[in-house]
Structure 1
Amino acid sequence: MTDPRSTRSRTAILTAARALLLKEGPAAVTHQRVAQEAGIGRATVYRHWAQPEQLLLAAMSGSDLPYFRDPTPPVRPWLRDQLRAMATEMALPEVVAVTLTLMQGAVWSPQIADQRNHAIAAITDRLRAALEIAATTGELTADVSPDDAASLLIGPLVYRTAMQAGTVPDALIDRLLDGIGLSR
């Protein structure tokens, strides 16, 4: 049986760590700062996450990616809705912070690289299923690999939201879908 106090402290720690990540970036997610933000002892933070990178990884991880699950025909409107939801969420500061931290952290941390690779594999597999349906229904007019589709669809969303600090207009999403050969 799980100790309710442990569950509460773990939740408080993750909430504080994510808030610090959003406000101040990954360097702020230290045991001391998280403990102060959560209003608990530093030893409690260490008890749950002994290493700083474990704490940062936990702060960055949440749930499985909610995007591109269960594709349905016609694929274009389904995929457009998925990209719209992703673009809207990616425009939120906390999501931008996690996205950039994941990309940057993967360069030096094998654990973060594993998390990034897991996310990439999930997106690619889900897009593969969508592209197969689109090919079967005749909606796909070009030969595009799932890896290329992910780059061509998601890359511009990351650039617009994280690099330009902007929002993604529906017209851009439509151009991206046209670019991978999904007929209107």
Structure 2
Amino acid sequence: MTKTGRPPGPANDTVATVLTAALELLLTEGAAALTAQRLHQATGASRSTIYRHWPTSTDVLAALIDVAPSPRCTPTGDVAQDLHAEVDALCNRLQDKPVAAFLQALAATAGPDPAAADLRRRYVEDLLAPFQAVLHDAGMSRTAADDTVAAIVSPLLVDALLLDRPTARARAHRAVDLHLVEIGP
């Protein structure tokens, strides 16, 4: 027996088309362009499909984050080496326009939209997770790991998000070395 009516979600090709267009709009026009009308114009997908599955720009950003790749470095067991590798990976991601654009879009939409603030937190926590994993694997307490990650990553996020300048990779590597010396073996 076949069910009639609407399927539970858009077809995979519609999702891919809409999210690809959404990313392009985000990069070229900013988060304000992530409206159903603008996505309809860019893709030809019906406005009702877009409204039904992505009713707000925050929903579009959430869908983009859900499909975004999350590269992880292969751990070596050497805490300093693994943290340096994660610094390089994060710096590369922050230089990549989509990651920086996401951060800026989430920051811009977080003020008036509490759901966007939660989404921003989730996205930043995803960026911090590899650092947390390295320090957890090294047996560091949660508090010490949080402090270490903040000391290493916060300046990188400030560079990318607030100052709109390239991340200071060398400074982040120095922060790894200095912080690891402070906490000892």
TM-score range, shorter chain: 0.7 to 0.9
Q: 1:99 aligns with which of 96, 103, 107?
A: 103
Deviation at 1:178, TM superposition (A): 2.1
Corresponding position: 1:146 with 2:145: yes
Deviation at 1:88, TM superposition (A): 1.1
Counterparts in 2 of 1:20 and 1:106: CA distance versus 1, 3 Å? same
94-103 vs 13-22, greater mean Cα deviation: 94-103
Measure, in 2, the Cα distance between the counterparts of 1:176 and 1:115. Answer: 28
Could you state the TM-score of these two structures normalised by the residue count of structure 1?
A: 0.75
1:128 and 1:146 in contact (8 A); partners too: yes
Residues 1-184 of structure 1 mapped to structure 2, 5 A cutoff:
6-63=11-68, 65-67=70-72, 71-121=75-125, 126-134=130-138, 145-182=144-181
2:14 maps to a residue whose letter is S
Q: Deviations over 1:122-141 (max 9, x none)?
A: 566654442244468xxxxx
In structure 1, the partner of 2:3 is none
State the SS of the aligned residue for 2:91.
helix
Q: Percent identity?
A: 28
Q: Deviations over 1:152-171 (max 9, x none)?
A: 11111122233343333542
39-48 vs 56-65, greater mean Cα deviation: 56-65
Measure, in 1, the Cα distance between the counterparts of 2:122 and 2:10. Answer: 31
Deviation at 1:27, TM superposition (A): 0.7
The unaligned stretches of length 5 or more in structure 2 are 1-6
Counterparts in 2 of 1:64 and 1:112: CA distance versus 1, 3 Å? farther
2:159 and 2:166 in contact (8 A); partners too: yes
Identify the structure with bigger relative contact order (alpha carbons < 8 Å, sequence gap 6+): 1
Q: Deviations over 1:21-57 (max 9, x none)?
A: 1111111111111111123332231232234432343
1:87 and 1:161 in contact (8 A); partners too: no
1:7 maps to a residue whose letter is N
Counterparts in 2 of 1:160 and 1:118: CA distance versus 1, 3 Å? closer
1:115 maps to a residue whose letter is L
Measure, in 2, the Cα distance between the counterparts of 1:107 and 1:147. Answer: 25
The unaligned stretches of length 5 or more in structure 1 are 137-143
2:100 and 2:160 in contact (8 A); partners too: yes
Counterparts in 2 of 1:154 and 1:16: CA distance versus 1, 3 Å? same
Measure, in 2, the Cα distance between the counterparts of 1:60 and 1:84. Answer: 21
Measure, in 2, the Cα distance between the counterparts of 1:123 and 1:7. Answer: 27
- Aligned residue-pair number: 176
Could you state the TM-score of these two structures normalised by the residue count of structure 2?
A: 0.75
Measure, in 2, the Cα distance between the counterparts of 1:59 and 1:119. Answer: 11
Counterparts in 2 of 1:62 and 1:163: CA distance versus 1, 3 Å? same
